[in-house]
Amino acid sequence: MAEAVVDTVTSVPVAVVGAGPAGLMLAHLLGRAGVATVVVDTRTRHEIETTQRAGILEAGAARDLVETGVSDRVLHEGHEHEGIELRFGGRPHRIDFKELVGASAWLYPQTDVFTDLANARDRDGGTVLFGVKDTEVLDITTAAPRVRVTASDGTRHEIRARYVVGADGSRSTCRDLVPEDRRVRYGKEYPFAWFGIMAEAPTSAPELVYAHSEHGFALISRRTETVQRMYFQCGPDESAAAWTDDRIWETLQARVAGRDGFRLREGRILERTVLRFRSFVQEPMRWGSLVLAGDAAHTVPPTGARGLNLALHDVKVLAGVLLRALGGAGDGALDDYQPRALQRVWRAQNFSSWMTRLLHTAPGDDAFDLRRQLGELDNVAGSRAGRTYLAEQYTGWPTGA
Ligand code: PHB
């Protein structure tokens, strides 16, 4: 069948599907080395900017934003956190990252990371097409793959590339292009979800609070001095609209309550969503001229805030191998990508599912399960080795490991 006529044809070394942090950071890193990209996304810039995501950056990822010239806003508007609080048995237990492993984490929302990266693309003259439709990725088993899209103004565009990167998130369609009989998908569903709120209220605690209680998990995070981000465990089919503000606050207060009298400072609820999550990995991360990065290849539950960090790590490794491949080393250079990215992916998969199980109550859990969980929490918080284990995983691993 003849292909539809397009209005423009552009040739670049790398076409990127997905303008989230992975796609835009990759475009930025390649752009710095003189390699042009075209990035396309079905979402508008406004949609991406206003979709709440997690908020923790590893110190290394924060440093990369500054040192690679994206922006230094994270240093002014982000907050460096030297630890977290685990609350269980009605008591606070501090995990002091700085003292245990000499590391910290930055509270800097993913939406801000996205804005910084999108502004950097504008500033540096990079092409990003937001709000496209009818995305087609073609000829990935050849050395001349193409991406075709309809732009928001209805015009049709073809991008011819040497490589296509699928950075199109947890509902990736690029990953479906790896033939079914050549791919493996690993995954786990969880019998619960997070009820997330944004509240206009003062900060309740100086650091993030991860709370275990007999009623289930809660997480107290923040966005600014006056806007707080909080989550509590709920059923996967819960409807956010069915909850009154009072019931939301009662639930959160019950989950953080303790002998120390700790209470959350309440306020108007500005936004509420039920977030379902799962653990997922697809292998291989490369098929012919198509390479997958970030959530397209792997997703983790949000409990350890690894997702964004993993995506940024993928593209750091990927930018290096793509530059070598394009610089004359050819496809062989790409063979390094999957092993270097995946080692960290599986470490993060383990940590995220471990921390999820450590803190959530599964339907059907009985008194034994609850007490066993408290025993495990004591093992973690009650010894330096246990605290160090958590601190090491939460603050991230060295690049390529
Ligand atoms: C957030 O602030 O949205 C957040 C922080 C830590 C997590 C997950 C989400 O583990």
CATH class given for the domain over 188-278+360-395:
alpha beta
| C-beta separation of 229 from 52 below 8 A | yes
* Res 398: pLDDT: 67
Instruction: Give the range among 2-6, 28-32, 283-287, 386-390 with minimum mean pLDDT.
Output: 2-6
* Res 54: pLDDT: 86
pLDDT, tens digit, for every residue of 31-90?
999 999 999 999 999 999 998 888 899 999 999 999 999 999 999 999 999 999 999 999
222 Cβ inside 6 Å of ligand 1: no
Domain ranges in the chain are 8-79+108-186+279-354, 188-278+360-395
Residue nearest to ligand 1 atom 2, measured at CA? 55
* Res 197: pLDDT: 98
305 Cβ inside 6 Å of ligand 1: yes
Q: How confident is the model at residue 249 (pLDDT cuts 50, 70, 90)?
A: very high
pLDDT, tens digit, for every residue of 301-342?
999 999 999 999 999 999 999 999 999 999 999 999 999 999
Q: Ligand 1 pocket check: which of 208, 228, 351, 359 to mutate, most ligand atoms within 8 Å of Cβ?
A: 208
Q: What is the mean pLDDT of residues 216-239?
A: 96
Expressed in angstroms and rounded, the spacing between residue 230 Cα and the centre of ligand 1 is 8
Q: In what order do the strands lie in the sheet with 14-17?
A: 127-129, 37-40, 14-17, 163-166, 290-292, 286-287
Distance CA 171, CA 3 (A): 26
pLDDT, tens digit, for every residue of 20-37?
999 999 999 999 999 999
Q: What is the mean pLDDT of residues 97-102?
A: 97
* Res 4: pLDDT: 83
Expressed in angstroms and rounded, the spacing between residue 58 Cα and the centre of ligand 1 is 12
302 Cβ inside 6 Å of ligand 1: yes
* Res 40: pLDDT: 98
Q: How confident is the model at residue 397 (pLDDT cuts 50, 70, 90)?
A: confident
Q: Ligand 1 pocket check: which of 219, 352, 354 to mutate, most ligand atoms within 8 Å of Cβ?
A: 219
* Res 372: pLDDT: 97
* Res 401: pLDDT: 44
Expressed in angstroms and rounded, the spacing between residue 108 Cα and the centre of ligand 1 is 10
| C-beta separation of 26 from 165 below 8 A | yes
Residue nearest to ligand 1 atom 4, measured at CA? 54
Q: Among candidates 97, 93, 15, 107, which has minimal Cα distance to 53?
A: 107
Cα of first residue to Cα of last residue in the chain, in angstroms, is 47
Q: Ligand 1 pocket check: which of 56, 57, 271, 351 to mutate, most ligand atoms within 8 Å of Cβ?
A: 56
55 Cβ inside 6 Å of ligand 1: yes
| Tokens encoding 297 | 């290849």
* Res 75: pLDDT: 96
Q: How confident is the model at residue 399 (pLDDT cuts 50, 70, 90)?
A: low
pLDDT at 181 over 60: yes
Please give the C-alpha separations between residue 313 and each of 8, 173, 306, in angstroms, as whole numbers.
Answer: 33, 21, 10
56 Cβ inside 6 Å of ligand 1: yes
Read off the pTM. Answer: 0.97
* Res 1: pLDDT: 59
Expressed in angstroms and rounded, the spacing between residue 167 Cα and the centre of ligand 1 is 21
54 Cβ inside 6 Å of ligand 1: yes
303 Cβ inside 6 Å of ligand 1: yes
Domains 8-79+108-186+279-354 and 188-278+360-395 share a fold: no
Nearest atom within ligand 1 for CA of residue 223: 2
* Res 55: pLDDT: 85
Instruction: Give the range among 1-10, 166-175, 334-343 with minimum mean pLDDT.
Output: 1-10
CATH class given for the domain over 8-79+108-186+279-354:
alpha beta
DSSP SS3 for 322: helix
Nearest atom within ligand 1 for CA of residue 107: 2
Nearest atom within ligand 1 for CA of residue 196: 3
Instruction: State the chain's mean pLDDT as an integer.
Output: 96
Q: Ligand 1 pocket check: which of 220, 229, 277, 309 to mutate, most ligand atoms within 8 Å of Cβ?
A: 229
Expressed in angstroms and rounded, the spacing between residue 55 Cα and the centre of ligand 1 is 5
